[in-house]
C-alpha cells in the first residue's frame, strides 16, 4: 500500500522544508510526497477557502510556471516560462528532498506533460478549439515539437532528481478550468496537424465540429445529450484523441520507464474518455496511475463551476444543466445541483470510480486520490475505505497545503492502522 500526499512550491517556501517534511512524515505518516514541478493557473486552496497552516499567506494564486531550474533544448520555437525562484537557481524540490531524507520521506517529481506557461512562438504549438481559438499554455499532443519537448523534459527531470518514481499529470486535452471557466476548451484539437491526422482516421472534421456544437447547445438547453454523444464520428474523434495521448504515454515510458517508475495522474474513469484518457490502453504503458475522484468537487475539477457557466450561457435552470451533465457522464446519482453544492457526491463515488479504474487497468495498480481539504475529517476515513473497497493499491491524500493539521493527523491515524 502506498500512502502519499502532494505539495505545492509555496508550502515549502513559506513553511520551510524541515517543517513540511516533519508534518508529512510524522503527522500524516505518508512516506511518499509528490512535489509539484510546475504550477497551474490556480487558486490555493481551490476553488475557495483559506490555507489553514501557511504562516505567511491565506491564499496563493499561481500561474502555470516552471518552479525549478530547467534546461530545455533550443530550436523548439517555444519555451516554458520559469518562475523567479527557478531563474535564480533556487530548487525547492532539492530542499524538500534533502529534508525528507532525514525523516525517511521519498520525494517524487509531480510533472505536467502538456500544460505550462509558454513564451516564444507558442501559438503554433498549442491546441486549437473547434471554434478556432488557440488555448494558450497547452501543447498539442500531435506535434513533433511537443514529442521532442516531452522526451527532453522527462529525461531532464529524471537526470536532475534520480527519483524512485514520477507522477505525470496533464497528459491529456484541456478541461474547462484555468484562469476562467470556459467549456469551449473541452473541444480541442483542431490545429492543422490534427485536422490532417484526423482525415487519415476517416474523421469528417466538419461533421465533428457540428456535433460538438450540438452537444454544447444541448448542455446549455439542459436537454439529454447522450444521443449526440453517441454519434459515430464524435466517438471516432474521441478515439483519435485517446490514441494521441496513449501514444505520448508510450513515448514517456520508452524514454524513462527503465530508469524510474512512471505513474500517471488520470481523471476518474467517468470523465477520462472526454479528456483523451483511455484507461484500457494507458494501463499497458505505465507502472501505475493515480486517479482523483474528489467527491466534493464531483471529480477532479470544479463541476459546479462548469454547470453554472453553462447555465449562464442559456436560459435553462442550472438544475437541468446539472442533470444533463450527470447523465452524459453516466453517474448513477439522483441528487440535485443544490444537494451537490451542499454535500458533494456521496462517498460511494470514490468506490464506484476506483472499482472501474481497477477493473479496466487489470494488473497495473491504481492509486486513489482522496480529498482531504474542504471536507469533515470524519469523511476522510470513509473515502479511504471506499477507495480500498474499490481495490486501490494506495492513496494520494490531496493535498498537504490545503488540508488542516487536524485532517493531516487523521491521515496519519489511518495510515498507521494499515
The footprint of Zn ion (CB under 5 A) covers 140, 142, 189, 191, 194
Q: Which is nearer to Zn ion, 140 or 306 (CB)?
A: 140
Q: Which is nearer to Zn ion, 105 or 191 (CB)?
A: 191
State the minimum distance, in angstroms, from the CB of residue 192 to Zn ion: 8
State the minimum distance, in angstroms, from the CB of residue 138 to Zn ion: 10
State the minimum distance, in angstroms, from the CB of residue 173 to Zn ion: 9
State the minimum distance, in angstroms, from the CB of residue 244 to Zn ion: 8
Report strand pairing: 261-266 vs 165-169. parallel
DSSP assignment of 40-96 = -SEEESSSSS--SS-SS-S-EEE-S-B-S-----S-SSEEEPBPHHHHTT--HHHHH
Q: Which is nearer to Zn ion, 111 or 189 (CB)?
A: 189
- What are 139's three cell numbers? 501543447
C-beta contacts of 96-103 below 8 A and 24+ residues apart: 96/7, 96/12, 96/17, 96/20, 96/21, 96/33, 96/35, 97/35, 97/161, 98/17, 99/17, 99/18, 99/20, 99/21, 100/17, 100/21, 100/24, 100/25, 100/33, 102/21, 103/21, 103/22, 103/25, 103/26
Q: Which is nearer to Zn ion, 121 or 224 (CB)?
A: 121
C-beta contacts of 87-92 below 8 A and 24+ residues apart: 92/9, 92/12, 92/13, 92/17, 92/35, 92/67, 92/68
CA–CA separation, 269 and 257 (whole Å):
24
State the minimum distance, in angstroms, from the CB of residue 160 to Zn ion: 29
State the minimum distance, in angstroms, from the CB of residue 238 to Zn ion: 15
Q: Which is nearer to Zn ion, 4 or 114 (CB)?
A: 114
Report strand pairing: 2-7 vs 288-291. unpaired
State the minimum distance, in angstroms, from the CB of residue 391 to Zn ion: 35
Q: Which is nearer to Zn ion, 195 or 217 (CB)?
A: 195
Q: Which is nearer to Zn ion, 90 or 124 (CB)?
A: 124
Amino acid at each position: 500500500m502506498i500512502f502519499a500526499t502532494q505539495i505545492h512550491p509555496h508550502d515549502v517556501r513559506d513553511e520551510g522544508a524541515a517543517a513540511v517534511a516533519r508534518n508529512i512524515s510524522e503527522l500524516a505518516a505518508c512516506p511518499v510526497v509528490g512535489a509539484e514541478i510546475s504550477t497551474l493557473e490556480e487558486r490555493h486552496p481551490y476553488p475557495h477557502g483559506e490555507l489553514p497552516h501557511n504562516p505567511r499567506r491565506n491564499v496563493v494564486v499561481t500561474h502555470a510556471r516552471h518552479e525549478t531550474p530547467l534546461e530545455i533544448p533550443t530550436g523548439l520555437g517555444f519555451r516554458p516560462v520559469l518562475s523567479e525562484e527557478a531563474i535564480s537557481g533556487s530548487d525547492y524540490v532539492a530542499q524538500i528532498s534533502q529534508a525528507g531524507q532525514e525523516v525517511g520521506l521519498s520525494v517524487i517529481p509531480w510533472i505536467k506533460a502538456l500544460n505550462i506557461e509558454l513564451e516564444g512562438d507558442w501559438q503554433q504549438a498549442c491546441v486549437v478549439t473547434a471554434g478556432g481559438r488557440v488555448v494558450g499554455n497547452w501543447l498539442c499532443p500531435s506535434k513533433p515539437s511537443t514529442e521532442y519537448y516531452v522526451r527532453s523534459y522527462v529525461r531532464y527531470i529524471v537526470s536532475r532528481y534520480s527519483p524512485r518514481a514520477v507522477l505525470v499529470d496533464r497528459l491529456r486535452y484541456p478541461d474547462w478550468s484555468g484562469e476562467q471557466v470556459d467549456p469551449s476548451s473541452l473541444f480541442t484539437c483542431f490545429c492543422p496537424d490534427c485536422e490532417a491526422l484526423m482525415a487519415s482516421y476517416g474523421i469528417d472534421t466538419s461533421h465533428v465540429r457540428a456535433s460538438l456544437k450540438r452537444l454544447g447547445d444541448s448542455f446549455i438547453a439542459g436537454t439529454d445529450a447522450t444521443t449526440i454523444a453517441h454519434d459515430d464520428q464524435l466517438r471516432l474523434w474521441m478515439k483519435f484523441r485517446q490514441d494521441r495521448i496513449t501514444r505520448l504515454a508510450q513515448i514517456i515510458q520508452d524514454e524513462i520507464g527503465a530508469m524510474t517508475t512512471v505513474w500517471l495522474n488520470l481523471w476518474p474513469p467517468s470523465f477520462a474518455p472526454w479528456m483523451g484518457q483511455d484507461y484500457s490502453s494507458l494501463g499497458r504503458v505505465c507502472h501505475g496511475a493515480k486517479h482523483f475522484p474528489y467527491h466534493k468537487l464531483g471529480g477532479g475539477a470544479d463541476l459546479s463551476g462548469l454547470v453554472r457557466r453553462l447555465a449562464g450561457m442559456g436560459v435553462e435552470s442550472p438544475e437541468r444543466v446539472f442533470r444533463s451533465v450527470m447523465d452524459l457522464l453516466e453517474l448513477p446519482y439522483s441528487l440535485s445541483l443544490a444537494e451537490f453544492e451542499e454535500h458533494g457526491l456521496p462517498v460511494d463515488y470514490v468506490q464506484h470510480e476506483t472499482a472501474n479504474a481497477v477493473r479496466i487497468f487489470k494488473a497495473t495498480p491504481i492509486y486513489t486520490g482522496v480529498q482531504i481539504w474542504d471536507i469533515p475529517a470524519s469523511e476522510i476515513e470513509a473515502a479511504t475505505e471506499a477507495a480500498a473497497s474499490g481495490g486501490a493499491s494506495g492513496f494520494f491524500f490531496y493535498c498537504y497545503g490545503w488540508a488542516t493539521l487536524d485532517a493531516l493527523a487523521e491521515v496519519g491515524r489511518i495510515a498507521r492502522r494499515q
